[in-house]
C-alpha cells in the first residue's frame, strides 16, 4: 500500500498584479531634487536600502533618476547609508 503524504493546496502561480502608475509621471515631475531628504525617504526601506521598481511602482526612467538622487543625497550626508 503506498504512503499518502500531506500535500499543501495548490497555489496560484500568477496572482492578479496590481497596476500602479509611476508617481513622477502622474505628477509630471521631471527632475528629482537630491537635497529633499524627507521626500526621498519614501523610496527607502526600513534598512535604508533603495526600494526596487516592482515594489515602489516607479517607471524605469524615474527609478534611475531616483537612485542617482538618493546616492547623491547619501554622499552629502542628507540620508543615511545604513540604519543604526
CB-CB neighbours of 46 under 10 Å: 6
Query: CB under 8 Å to 66, separation ≥6 — which residues?
Result: 24, 32, 40, 43, 50, 58
pTM of the entire structure? 0.76
- Give the pLDDT score at 15: 64
The two most distant CA atoms of the chain are separated, in Å, by 70
pLDDT, tens digit, 9 for 90 and up, residues 11-69 = 666 666 666 789 999 999 999 999 999 999 999 999 999 999 999 999 999 999 999 99
Q: What CATH code would you report for 23-75?
A: 4.10.640.10
Which three cell numbers mark 8?
499543501
Would you kindly state where each structural domain of the chain is located, as residue ranges?
23-75
Amino acid at each position: 500500500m503506498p504512503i499518502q503524504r500531506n500535500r499543501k493546496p495548490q497555489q496560484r502561480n500568477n496572482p492578479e498584479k496590481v497596476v500602479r502608475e509611476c508617481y513622477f509621471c502622474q505628477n509630471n515631475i521631471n527632475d528629482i531634487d537630491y537635497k529633499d531628504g524627507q521626500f526621498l525617504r519614501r523610496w527607502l526601506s526600513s534598512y535604508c536600502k533603495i526600494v526596487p521598481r516592482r515594489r515602489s511602482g516607479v517607471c524605469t526612467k524615474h527609478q534611475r533618476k531616483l537612485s542617482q538622487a538618493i546616492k547623491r543625497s547619501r554622499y552629502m550626508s542628507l540620508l543615511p547609508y545604513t540604519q543604526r
